[in-house]
Amino acid sequence: MALDLFSPVKLGAISLKNRMVMAPLTRNRAGEGGVPHDLNVTYYAQRATAGLIVTEATPISEMAHGYPALPGIYTDAQTAGWKKVVDAVHAKGGKIVLQLWHVGRISHPSLLPNDALPVAPSAIKPAGKAFTYKGLVDYVEPRTLDACELPAIVQEYVHATKCALSTGFDGVEIHAANGYLLDQFLRDGSNQRTDNYGGSFENRARLLMEVTKAVVSVAGADKTGLRISPVNPFNDMHDSNPQALFNYVVTELNQFNLAYLHVVEGGIHGGGKADAFDFVEMRKLYKGAYMANLGYDKARGNAAIASGHADAIAYGVPFIANPDLVERYKIDAPLNEADSKSFYGGTEKGYTDYPFLNA
Protein backbone atom coordinates (compact mmCIF):
# COMPACT_ATOMS: atom_id res chain seq x y z
CA MET A 1 0.00 0.00 0.00
CA ALA A 2 1.34 3.44 -0.92
CA LEU A 3 2.36 5.65 1.97
CA ASP A 4 0.69 9.04 2.39
CA LEU A 5 0.10 11.78 4.96
CA PHE A 6 -2.30 9.58 6.89
CA SER A 7 0.02 6.58 7.26
CA PRO A 8 1.51 6.01 10.71
CA VAL A 9 5.27 6.41 11.12
CA LYS A 10 7.88 6.06 13.85
CA LEU A 11 10.41 8.87 14.20
CA GLY A 12 12.99 7.44 16.57
CA ALA A 13 11.10 6.49 19.71
CA ILE A 14 8.10 8.67 18.79
CA SER A 15 5.17 6.84 17.18
CA LEU A 16 2.98 9.11 15.04
CA LYS A 17 -0.58 8.22 14.06
CA ASN A 18 -0.15 10.24 10.87
CA ARG A 19 2.67 12.11 9.11
CA MET A 20 1.22 15.61 9.46
CA VAL A 21 3.35 17.63 11.88
CA MET A 22 2.36 20.95 13.38
CA ALA A 23 5.40 23.15 12.75
CA PRO A 24 6.88 25.36 15.48
CA LEU A 25 4.97 28.65 15.44
CA THR A 26 5.89 31.68 17.54
CA ARG A 27 2.64 33.21 18.83
CA ASN A 28 3.81 35.56 21.66
CA ARG A 29 1.06 34.64 24.10
CA ALA A 30 2.87 33.22 27.14
CA GLY A 31 2.01 34.39 30.63
CA GLU A 32 4.15 36.48 32.95
CA GLY A 33 7.64 35.12 33.54
CA GLY A 34 7.48 33.10 30.32
CA VAL A 35 5.03 30.66 31.90
CA PRO A 36 2.58 28.80 29.63
CA HIS A 37 -1.00 29.32 30.86
CA ASP A 38 -4.52 28.05 30.21
CA LEU A 39 -4.87 29.77 26.83
CA ASN A 40 -1.74 27.96 25.60
CA VAL A 41 -3.07 24.66 26.95
CA THR A 42 -6.28 25.07 24.94
CA TYR A 43 -4.40 26.03 21.77
CA TYR A 44 -2.13 23.00 21.74
CA ALA A 45 -4.83 20.55 22.87
CA GLN A 46 -7.08 21.72 19.99
CA ARG A 47 -4.38 20.57 17.55
CA ALA A 48 -3.63 17.18 19.12
CA THR A 49 -4.85 15.27 16.05
CA ALA A 50 -1.57 16.20 14.33
CA GLY A 51 0.79 13.23 14.15
CA LEU A 52 3.26 15.35 16.09
CA ILE A 53 3.22 18.88 17.50
CA VAL A 54 6.50 20.79 17.61
CA THR A 55 6.03 23.59 20.13
CA GLU A 56 6.76 27.20 19.41
CA ALA A 57 10.46 27.97 19.75
CA THR A 58 11.20 28.13 23.46
CA PRO A 59 14.14 30.05 24.99
CA ILE A 60 16.56 27.93 27.03
CA SER A 61 17.71 30.78 29.29
CA GLU A 62 17.15 34.45 30.08
CA MET A 63 19.81 35.40 27.50
CA ALA A 64 18.12 33.29 24.83
CA HIS A 65 15.07 35.59 24.50
CA GLY A 66 14.46 37.79 21.49
CA TYR A 67 10.74 38.63 21.42
CA PRO A 68 7.99 39.58 23.89
CA ALA A 69 5.73 37.05 25.66
CA LEU A 70 7.71 33.93 24.85
CA PRO A 71 7.38 30.79 26.97
CA GLY A 72 10.66 29.62 28.50
CA ILE A 73 11.94 26.21 29.59
CA TYR A 74 14.46 26.98 32.33
CA THR A 75 12.48 27.80 35.53
CA ASP A 76 10.29 25.56 37.69
CA ALA A 77 7.24 27.72 36.96
CA GLN A 78 7.75 27.48 33.20
CA THR A 79 8.24 23.75 33.42
CA ALA A 80 5.05 23.37 35.45
CA GLY A 81 3.17 25.45 32.87
CA TRP A 82 4.42 23.25 30.04
CA LYS A 83 3.39 20.12 31.95
CA LYS A 84 -0.23 21.23 31.70
CA VAL A 85 0.18 21.61 27.93
CA VAL A 86 1.80 18.18 27.58
CA ASP A 87 -0.81 16.47 29.75
CA ALA A 88 -3.65 18.04 27.72
CA VAL A 89 -2.13 16.96 24.38
CA HIS A 90 -1.48 13.44 25.67
CA ALA A 91 -5.03 13.21 27.05
CA LYS A 92 -6.27 13.70 23.48
CA GLY A 93 -3.91 11.05 22.09
CA GLY A 94 -1.37 13.49 20.65
CA LYS A 95 2.42 13.60 20.65
CA ILE A 96 4.43 16.75 21.35
CA VAL A 97 8.10 17.76 21.39
CA LEU A 98 9.60 21.01 22.65
CA GLN A 99 11.77 23.17 20.39
CA LEU A 100 14.93 24.42 22.16
CA TRP A 101 15.85 27.98 21.17
CA HIS A 102 18.61 30.54 21.61
CA VAL A 103 18.11 33.63 19.45
CA GLY A 104 21.70 34.91 19.59
CA ARG A 105 21.95 38.35 17.97
CA ILE A 106 18.24 38.55 17.08
CA SER A 107 17.32 40.31 20.31
CA HIS A 108 17.58 43.68 22.02
CA PRO A 109 18.94 44.83 25.40
CA SER A 110 15.39 45.70 26.53
CA LEU A 111 14.48 42.01 26.26
CA LEU A 112 17.54 40.74 28.15
CA PRO A 113 18.59 40.76 31.82
CA ASN A 114 20.24 44.00 32.98
CA ASP A 115 19.95 45.45 29.44
CA ALA A 116 22.70 43.09 28.29
CA LEU A 117 23.89 43.13 24.70
CA PRO A 118 22.71 40.17 22.61
CA VAL A 119 25.44 37.59 21.95
CA ALA A 120 26.61 36.17 18.62
CA PRO A 121 29.51 34.37 16.95
CA SER A 122 30.72 37.73 15.61
CA ALA A 123 29.91 41.38 16.31
CA ILE A 124 27.85 41.85 13.14
CA LYS A 125 24.68 43.90 13.50
CA PRO A 126 21.81 42.31 11.56
CA ALA A 127 19.73 44.44 9.24
CA GLY A 128 16.17 44.97 10.36
CA LYS A 129 14.34 45.74 13.56
CA ALA A 130 13.80 43.96 16.86
CA PHE A 131 10.23 43.31 18.02
CA THR A 132 10.17 44.59 21.62
CA TYR A 133 7.56 45.48 24.25
CA LYS A 134 7.84 49.09 23.00
CA GLY A 135 7.44 48.21 19.34
CA LEU A 136 9.98 47.86 16.55
CA VAL A 137 13.47 49.21 17.24
CA ASP A 138 16.75 48.88 15.38
CA TYR A 139 18.89 45.87 16.18
CA VAL A 140 22.11 46.60 18.05
CA GLU A 141 25.59 45.30 17.37
CA PRO A 142 25.85 42.05 19.36
CA ARG A 143 28.69 41.05 21.63
CA THR A 144 31.07 38.40 20.28
CA LEU A 145 30.96 35.25 22.39
CA ASP A 146 34.30 34.16 23.75
CA ALA A 147 35.04 30.48 23.13
CA CYS A 148 35.24 29.94 26.89
CA GLU A 149 31.55 30.97 27.18
CA LEU A 150 30.27 28.29 24.82
CA PRO A 151 30.35 25.32 27.23
CA ALA A 152 27.94 27.22 29.51
CA ILE A 153 25.54 27.70 26.59
CA VAL A 154 25.76 23.98 25.81
CA GLN A 155 24.83 23.35 29.46
CA GLU A 156 21.82 25.65 29.08
CA TYR A 157 20.60 23.32 26.34
CA VAL A 158 21.16 20.38 28.69
CA HIS A 159 19.24 22.04 31.54
CA ALA A 160 16.36 22.98 29.22
CA THR A 161 16.24 19.42 27.86
CA LYS A 162 16.01 18.03 31.40
CA CYS A 163 13.21 20.49 32.18
CA ALA A 164 11.33 19.45 29.02
CA LEU A 165 11.69 15.74 29.70
CA SER A 166 10.52 16.17 33.29
CA THR A 167 7.16 17.42 31.98
CA GLY A 168 6.63 14.31 29.86
CA PHE A 169 7.38 15.82 26.44
CA ASP A 170 7.85 13.05 23.87
CA GLY A 171 11.17 14.58 22.85
CA VAL A 172 12.95 17.81 21.98
CA GLU A 173 13.91 19.58 18.76
CA ILE A 174 17.13 21.61 18.54
CA HIS A 175 16.44 24.86 16.68
CA ALA A 176 19.42 25.44 14.36
CA ALA A 177 17.47 27.37 11.71
CA ASN A 178 16.12 30.76 10.63
CA GLY A 179 19.03 32.97 11.62
CA TYR A 180 19.20 32.23 15.34
CA LEU A 181 22.30 31.37 17.38
CA LEU A 182 23.24 27.93 16.06
CA ASP A 183 22.48 29.00 12.48
CA GLN A 184 24.54 32.16 13.05
CA PHE A 185 27.54 29.96 13.84
CA LEU A 186 26.91 27.79 10.76
CA ARG A 187 26.69 30.47 8.07
CA ASP A 188 29.65 32.66 7.12
CA GLY A 189 27.49 35.76 6.63
CA SER A 190 27.20 35.92 10.42
CA ASN A 191 30.30 33.98 11.52
CA GLN A 192 33.61 35.74 10.87
CA ARG A 193 35.54 34.03 13.66
CA THR A 194 39.15 32.95 13.32
CA ASP A 195 39.23 30.46 16.22
CA ASN A 196 38.02 26.83 16.39
CA TYR A 197 34.43 27.99 15.85
CA GLY A 198 34.98 29.87 12.59
CA GLY A 199 36.36 29.42 9.09
CA SER A 200 36.05 25.81 7.96
CA PHE A 201 32.77 23.89 7.77
CA GLU A 202 33.98 21.73 10.64
CA ASN A 203 34.66 24.76 12.83
CA ARG A 204 31.41 26.55 12.03
CA ALA A 205 29.45 23.36 12.74
CA ARG A 206 31.36 22.67 15.97
CA LEU A 207 28.89 24.35 18.36
CA LEU A 208 25.92 22.63 16.69
CA MET A 209 27.63 19.25 17.06
CA GLU A 210 28.51 19.97 20.70
CA VAL A 211 24.94 20.98 21.49
CA THR A 212 23.54 17.95 19.65
CA LYS A 213 25.88 15.54 21.45
CA ALA A 214 24.95 17.07 24.81
CA VAL A 215 21.18 17.02 24.19
CA VAL A 216 21.36 13.43 22.89
CA SER A 217 23.27 12.41 26.03
CA VAL A 218 20.26 13.55 28.10
CA ALA A 219 17.23 12.86 25.90
CA GLY A 220 18.50 9.95 23.83
CA ALA A 221 19.03 10.22 20.09
CA ASP A 222 15.64 8.61 19.45
CA LYS A 223 13.89 11.52 21.21
CA THR A 224 15.97 14.31 19.65
CA GLY A 225 15.09 16.11 16.42
CA LEU A 226 16.94 19.00 14.79
CA ARG A 227 15.86 21.82 12.49
CA ILE A 228 17.93 23.56 9.81
CA SER A 229 17.16 26.12 7.07
CA PRO A 230 20.06 26.05 4.57
CA VAL A 231 19.02 29.07 2.49
CA ASN A 232 16.44 30.97 4.52
CA PRO A 233 17.54 34.66 4.30
CA PHE A 234 15.32 35.64 7.24
CA ASN A 235 17.15 37.60 9.96
CA ASP A 236 19.74 38.89 7.47
CA MET A 237 21.29 35.47 6.86
CA HIS A 238 23.39 34.18 3.96
CA ASP A 239 26.30 31.88 3.23
CA SER A 240 28.89 31.87 0.46
CA ASN A 241 28.43 28.14 -0.27
CA PRO A 242 25.25 26.80 1.35
CA GLN A 243 25.09 23.56 -0.63
CA ALA A 244 28.54 22.38 0.40
CA LEU A 245 28.06 23.61 3.98
CA PHE A 246 24.77 21.86 4.61
CA ASN A 247 25.77 18.72 2.72
CA TYR A 248 28.62 18.60 5.26
CA VAL A 249 26.32 19.34 8.21
CA VAL A 250 23.79 16.60 7.46
CA THR A 251 26.54 14.07 6.76
CA GLU A 252 28.04 14.86 10.19
CA LEU A 253 24.62 14.62 11.83
CA ASN A 254 24.32 11.02 10.59
CA GLN A 255 26.57 9.95 13.47
CA PHE A 256 23.84 10.75 16.02
CA ASN A 257 21.00 8.66 14.54
CA LEU A 258 18.50 11.38 15.48
CA ALA A 259 14.75 10.87 15.61
CA TYR A 260 14.42 13.18 12.61
CA LEU A 261 15.93 16.09 10.67
CA HIS A 262 13.48 18.96 10.11
CA VAL A 263 14.34 21.04 7.04
CA VAL A 264 12.97 24.42 5.96
CA GLU A 265 13.20 23.98 2.19
CA GLY A 266 13.65 27.59 1.10
CA GLY A 267 13.02 31.05 2.55
CA ILE A 268 10.26 32.02 4.97
CA HIS A 269 8.93 35.16 6.71
CA GLY A 270 9.41 37.34 3.61
CA GLY A 271 13.11 37.59 4.32
CA GLY A 272 14.17 38.09 0.71
CA LYS A 273 15.01 35.65 -2.05
CA ALA A 274 16.53 32.31 -1.04
CA ASP A 275 19.66 31.08 -2.85
CA ALA A 276 19.36 28.12 -5.20
CA PHE A 277 19.73 24.83 -3.33
CA ASP A 278 19.29 21.16 -4.21
CA PHE A 279 17.35 19.70 -1.29
CA VAL A 280 17.07 16.33 -3.06
CA GLU A 281 20.87 16.10 -3.16
CA MET A 282 21.16 16.96 0.54
CA ARG A 283 18.34 14.57 1.42
CA LYS A 284 20.20 11.67 -0.22
CA LEU A 285 23.17 12.29 2.08
CA TYR A 286 21.07 12.13 5.23
CA LYS A 287 20.49 8.59 6.49
CA GLY A 288 17.69 9.18 8.98
CA ALA A 289 14.06 10.29 9.01
CA TYR A 290 13.45 13.54 7.15
CA MET A 291 10.72 16.09 7.89
CA ALA A 292 10.07 18.55 5.06
CA ASN A 293 8.69 22.03 5.66
CA LEU A 294 7.71 25.00 3.50
CA GLY A 295 4.67 25.63 1.38
CA TYR A 296 3.45 22.03 1.32
CA ASP A 297 -0.24 21.38 0.74
CA LYS A 298 -1.99 17.99 0.79
CA ALA A 299 -1.00 17.01 -2.76
CA ARG A 300 2.67 18.01 -2.42
CA GLY A 301 2.86 16.38 0.99
CA ASN A 302 1.48 13.10 -0.27
CA ALA A 303 3.84 13.19 -3.27
CA ALA A 304 6.90 13.85 -1.08
CA ILE A 305 6.03 10.92 1.17
CA ALA A 306 5.14 8.55 -1.68
CA SER A 307 8.44 9.32 -3.44
CA GLY A 308 10.50 8.74 -0.30
CA HIS A 309 11.75 12.34 -0.21
CA ALA A 310 10.15 12.90 3.20
CA ASP A 311 8.94 10.77 6.09
CA ALA A 312 6.73 13.53 7.50
CA ILE A 313 5.56 16.99 6.46
CA ALA A 314 5.43 20.00 8.78
CA TYR A 315 2.60 22.49 8.27
CA GLY A 316 2.59 25.94 9.83
CA VAL A 317 -0.06 28.49 8.88
CA PRO A 318 -2.64 25.79 7.93
CA PHE A 319 -2.49 24.48 11.53
CA ILE A 320 -2.90 28.00 12.94
CA ALA A 321 -6.22 28.44 11.16
CA ASN A 322 -7.35 24.80 11.15
CA PRO A 323 -6.97 22.97 14.45
CA ASP A 324 -8.57 19.97 12.73
CA LEU A 325 -6.32 20.17 9.65
CA VAL A 326 -5.83 16.40 9.56
CA GLU A 327 -9.57 15.75 9.30
CA ARG A 328 -10.03 18.51 6.70
CA TYR A 329 -7.25 17.04 4.53
CA LYS A 330 -8.71 13.54 4.90
CA ILE A 331 -12.09 14.52 3.51
CA ASP A 332 -10.93 17.40 1.29
CA ALA A 333 -12.95 19.90 3.29
CA PRO A 334 -12.40 23.63 2.74
CA LEU A 335 -9.86 25.32 5.00
CA ASN A 336 -10.32 28.29 7.30
CA GLU A 337 -8.31 31.28 6.21
CA ALA A 338 -5.59 32.46 8.59
CA ASP A 339 -5.71 35.99 10.00
CA SER A 340 -2.10 37.17 9.78
CA LYS A 341 -2.84 40.21 11.95
CA SER A 342 -3.28 37.94 14.98
CA PHE A 343 -0.24 35.71 14.44
CA TYR A 344 1.98 37.48 16.96
CA GLY A 345 0.57 38.45 20.34
CA GLY A 346 -2.97 39.14 21.46
CA THR A 347 -5.76 37.14 23.04
CA GLU A 348 -7.80 34.08 22.07
CA LYS A 349 -8.82 35.90 18.87
CA GLY A 350 -6.94 34.27 16.00
CA TYR A 351 -5.47 31.76 18.46
CA THR A 352 -8.08 29.42 19.92
CA ASP A 353 -11.25 30.66 18.19
CA TYR A 354 -10.84 29.15 14.70
CA PRO A 355 -13.87 26.94 14.01
CA PHE A 356 -13.75 23.15 13.77
CA LEU A 357 -15.63 21.38 10.98
CA ASN A 358 -18.21 19.97 13.39
CA ALA A 359 -18.64 23.21 15.36
Residues with a known catalytic role: 180
Q: Find the radius of gyration of the CA atoms of the chain.
A: 19
Q: Which of these, 22, 113, 18, 24, lies nearest to 65 by C-alpha position?
A: 113
Is residue 189 within 8 A of residue 90, CB to CB? The reply is no
Please name the amino acid found at residue 52: L
Q: Which of these, 40, 32, 35, 31, lies nearest to 77 by C-alpha position?
A: 35
Is residue 198 within 8 A of residue 121, CB to CB? The reply is yes
Collect contacts of 137-144 with beta carbons under 8 A, ≥24 apart: 137/108, 137/110, 139/105, 139/106, 139/108, 140/108, 140/109, 141/117, 142/104, 142/105, 142/117, 142/118, 143/117, 143/118, 143/119, 144/119, 144/120, 144/193
Q: Which residues contact 2 (CB under 8 A, 6 or more apart)?
A: 306
How far apart CA 245 and CA 224 sit, in angstroms, is 22
What's 98's DSSP letter?
E
Q: Which of these, 21, 94, 2, lies nearest to 312 by C-alpha position?
A: 21
